Structure formats: structure tokens, C-alpha cells
Chain A
């Protein structure tokens, strides 16, 4: 039981290493950073929704 667990753990570590190596390889498609433009869109949508909510009280 203990040996099987060790083998499994070792296998997981090896798999993790292999995956990390693939991620480190040049050309791996990493996600783009959450840019200033993304933050701006988020802020505008949030503020706009709040504004419309407030205006909705007068309808």
C-alpha cells in the first residue's frame, strides 16, 4: 500500500515536471495578461450598470 502510494506520488511528480517543461517550451500559448484595457472595460461596465440602476429608480 505504502509502496503503491510512493509510486503514484512519484508518477504525479514526473507528470507535473513533464507538463511544466511543455509549458516552458517556447511558443506555448500562455494567456494574455489582464491588461489595462480589460480593467477599463470592467470598470466601465460596473460603473455604467450602477448608473443605470440608479436611473431605474426614476422610471
Chain B
């Protein structure tokens, strides 16, 4: 940040920090969100997941478990995200209402650590895919190439992320349609190779109720990394203003109100410098936002 003009720093603070982002400053729209989510859904590791599920259940149960298992789980634990998206507040800030400031910091660190194995899986998938492509081209890569390819995946991803959200948006607009095309191609190849009636009636050996349960559990686990991936929260940072409370506020005393601002209304300090409580109070009053007590 050293040597950067203050205006740039302010813009940076608005995009990635805590300044309120105005409605006209939004980076991503519906198309970007759709592309990003589609990218998650059709990412290459989904094929790994599908192959695993096919060992547990038949096609019909797999489709039901994959779609409705994921939708059910997403509805439950993405609810805070739905609300923060609606009101244009980063999930990190929004969840201060639940965890408090320090709690969010702790959760952030935990989530970052939880994601490391996930990144390792993605890097490994990239390395093995590149290895297979090289094999198809007649190149016999040595065993040492596998970790190097995985590392190159991490380095490339990091460099891309460092270029900022705008670059990520551009990359998504190119890569996700390509991934979608690959998905369509895979379906066409699969249906041409095996008659659809065989796919429809397929049942794995040993499939039973417990296997279905395991497949549903696997589908519950599948969307979890989405929730914890930082980029999942940033595209919807609209900064369109503080939220109206979605549940009826309870009356509370002055001391509780003060505490309530800090603990249950994260946008309290998001939008208002701490030294301006009067203006904060007036603003919330004007917007009919009553701080809630715990």
C-alpha cells in the first residue's frame, strides 16, 4: 500500500475492506453469480464425486440425492448468506451478529485451515489431469512432475487471485462456459456409449438404504466448501445499504441498545465510525432499524 495514492486506497478499502460500497459500485451481477456457481457445480472434482456416488446408489437415487440433498443443505446453512447477499453486506461482517468480532476472526482462521486439504485435492486433480493429457500427447512425465504440477496449480491460482476480483470475473466468463461445454460433451459421450435405459436402471451391487444414506451425506458434504470459500461471499458484496431487520425487534433498554449495536447489528460499525454514535442512531432510526437485544 506504500506509495499508493489515497484515492486508490479508498477504492481498495471499499472493495475489499469495510467502507460501505455504493449500489453503483457493484462488481458482479446476476450473470457473474450464475457463472461462478455453475463453475462450482461442474468443476472437475464433481466428476470424482459422481464416480464415488455411482458405487453407492443407482442413477435415479443419485440424481435425487445430488440435487435435492444439495438444495436442502444449501437452504439451511446458506440462509445467512442469502440475507447478507440481499442486503449487500460481506458475510464476514454479517456474521459478527452471530459470532462477534473476535469470533468471526477465529472462524475465518478455522475456515482457511479447513480449506487447505480441499486446495490440496484440487491441486492433485489438476496434476493428475495434466499428467493424463500429457500421456495422451505421448509425453511420459516422471513421477516428480506430479507434485510440481500440483504446485503450479496453486501458484497460478494465487497469481490469479492476486489480480483481484475483476480478473476473477473475466476468467469465470471464459472458463465456466468452457466447463459447461465439457459437461455437455461428457453427457453426450456417456449416453452414446451406454444406452440411456441401462443408465436409468443401473443399480450398484450392495446398494441399500444405508448406501442411499451415505450418498445423501456425501451430497450434504459436497456444497460445504462453497460456503467456506471466500470468493463465494465477495461477488455479492453490493453495499446497497444496511439491512432492514427481517424479524421483529424487541424493545430494550439504553445499555442493551448500545451493546446490541455492537453485537447484533454488524452494520452498526460497518457504516458508522465509532465516534459518531448519534449519527448512527439517527440513520438507523430513519431506516426503521431497531437494534435488537440478546
Q: Is B162 an interface residue (CB 8 A)?
A: no
Chain B residue at smallest Cβ distance from A19: B20
Report the Cα distance A38→B20, complex, angstroms: 25
Cβ distance A24 to chain B, nearest Cβ, rounded Å: 7
The tally of residues in A whose CB lies under 8 Å from a CB in B reads 32
Residues from 26 to 59 in A contacting B, C-beta threshold 8 Å: 28-34, 42, 45-46, 48-50, 52-53, 55-57, 59
Q: Establish whether residues B86 and A31, one from each chain, have CB atoms under 8 Å apart when the complex forms.
A: yes
Are B283 and A24 interface neighbours, CB within 8 A? yes
Q: Would you call B158 an interface residue if the criterion is a C-beta within 8 Å of the partner chain's C-beta atoms?
A: no
B20 (CB) vs chain A CBs: closest residue: A19
Q: What's the nearest-Cβ distance from chain A to residue B72, in Å?
A: 4
Q: Is the interface of B mostly helix, strand, loop or mixed?
A: helix
Interface stretch (choices B6-14, B34-42, B119-127)? B6-14
Task: Establish whether residues B19 and A13, one from each chain, have CB atoms under 8 Å apart when the complex forms.
Answer: no
Docked CA distance A50–B70 (Å): 10
- A11→B76 contact, CB < 8 A: no
Taking A20-B283, A30-B240 as contacts, is the C-beta distance between A13 and B273 under 8 angstroms?
A: yes
Task: Please provide the chain B residues from 223 to 259 with a CB less than 8 Å away from any CB of chain A in the complex.
Answer: 238, 240-241, 243-244, 246
Whether a CB of chain A sits under 8 angstroms from the CB of B52 is no
Q: Could you count the A-B residue pairs with CB atoms below 8 Å apart for me: how many are there? A: 98
Q: State the interface size on chain B (CB cutoff 8 A).
A: 44
Judging by beta carbons under 8 Å apart, are A19 and B19 in contact? yes
B9 and A8 contacting across the interface, CB-CB below 8 Å = yes
Q: Evaluate whether A15 and B19 lie within 8 angstroms (CB atoms) in the complex, with A33-B246, A53-B64 already known.
A: yes
Output the residue of B13, B75, B87 with the most chain A CB within 10 A.
Answer: B75
Chain B residues at the A interface, C-beta cutoff of 8 Å: 6, 9-10, 13-14, 19-20, 22-23, 58, 60-61, 64-65, 68-69, 71-72, 75-76, 79, 82-83, 86-88, 209, 212-213, 216, 238, 240-241, 243-244, 246, 271-273, 276, 279, 283, 286-287
Closest 6 CB pairs of A and B: A56-B64, A49-B72, A46-B75, A49-B68, A34-B246, A52-B68
